[in-house]
Amino acid sequence: MTTSDPLHTPAPERVAVVTGGSRGIGRAVSLQLARDGLAVVVNYTRDAASAEETVKVITADGGRAIAVRADVADEHAVTALFDRAEREFGGVDVVVNAAGHLALSPVADLDLSALDEMHRTNIRGAFVVAQQAARRLRPGGSFLGVSTSVVGTQFPAYGAYVASKAAVESMTLILARELRGRDITVNTVAPGPTATDLFLDGKTPEEIERLAKTPPLERLGTPEDIARVAAFLTSPAGHWVNGQVLRANGGMV
């Protein structure tokens, strides 16, 4: 007769929900968390093909993942997203809110419809996802928001975008304190210039080169750079970090 050895009992599978998980930083986070052994719910809004491709890459490597469509600003859709995660995988341990919208313009010239769209995703969406995370995360879990280092660098033309991301940063410590006693961490990663479609769109080669030279490391970040930070902050190894905004930007001020 054999008995189980508690020292060698496999740890329960951890489950992650990654919003905006089909492209850019979100995709890199989805892939990294899957490599680390988490089952991943890859959320997307419009690009189903990219979401399914991300899932295909994860499952081909032996991981478990599903793609689920949901507009992060729609509380009913986000509730259904978390319901699906719980039905498929049994619960939620990690939430990374990588969904975001960017529109660049001087304050004087910004179309207010662009402002409304950006704030709908970046503020309302961040709040809706955080609300569900606060309700659903299991003990030992983590919520990670995504901001931008431009909150600190204050580049021209980023006024509306920075206003939306500053809201994400302001919520971080408050939510961490509200979850006192639940063994759940809340942090935000604030990338510097990162070579994603969202960042590169509309910029000239000269602008990209100038921004790449800004950090002391003299290069753009990669989505994988940010994904590794996200993986640490949401892992058991990073669980003593709580209520913090981490600027992952290669040394920009």
| pLDDT tier for residue 253 given thresholds of 50, 70 and 90 | confident
- Judged against a pLDDT cut of 60, whether residue 1 lies above it is answered with no
Counted domains in the chain: 1
Which of 246, 251, 189 is closest to 217 using CA atoms? 251
* Residue 7 covered by a domain: no
* Residue 8 covered by a domain: no
Per-residue pLDDT of 101-120, as tens digits, reads: 999 999 999 999 999 999 99
Helix/strand/coil percentages in the chain, nearest 5: 50, 15, 35
* Residue 56 covered by a domain: yes
Contact indicator for 22, 42 with CB cutoff of 8 Å: yes
Per-residue pLDDT of 143-200, as tens digits, reads: 999 999 999 999 999 999 999 999 999 999 999 999 999 999 999 999 999 998 878 8
- Quote the percentage of the chain above a pLDDT of 90: 88
Per-residue pLDDT of 6-33, as tens digits, reads: 555 556 799 999 999 999 999 999 999 9
CATH of the domain at 158: 3.40.50.720
| pLDDT tier for residue 5 given thresholds of 50, 70 and 90 | low
Instruction: Indicate which residue of 44, 143, 161, 199 is catalytic.
Output: 161
* Residue 156 covered by a domain: yes
* Residue 148 covered by a domain: yes
More confident residue, 201 or 78: 78
DSSP letter string, 19-47: ETTTSHHHHHHHHHHHHTT-EEEEEESS-
* Residue 28 covered by a domain: yes
Q: What is the rounded average pLDDT for all residues in the chain?
A: 94
Find the radius of gyration of the CA atoms of the chain. Answer: 18
> Which run of H or E residues covers position 146?
strand 142-146
* Residue 114 covered by a domain: yes
* Residue 253 covered by a domain: no
pLDDT at 139: 98
Catalytic status, residue 158: no
pLDDT at 136: 98
Which of 61, 30, 56, 25 is closest to 43 using CA atoms? 30
Amino acid (one-letter) located at 87? R
List the domain range (segments joined by +) for residue 147: 13-247
Amino acid (one-letter) located at 77? A
**pLDDT (mean) for 66-73:** 98
Taking the model in full, what pTM does it have?
Answer: 0.93
Taken as a whole, the chain contains a residue count of 253
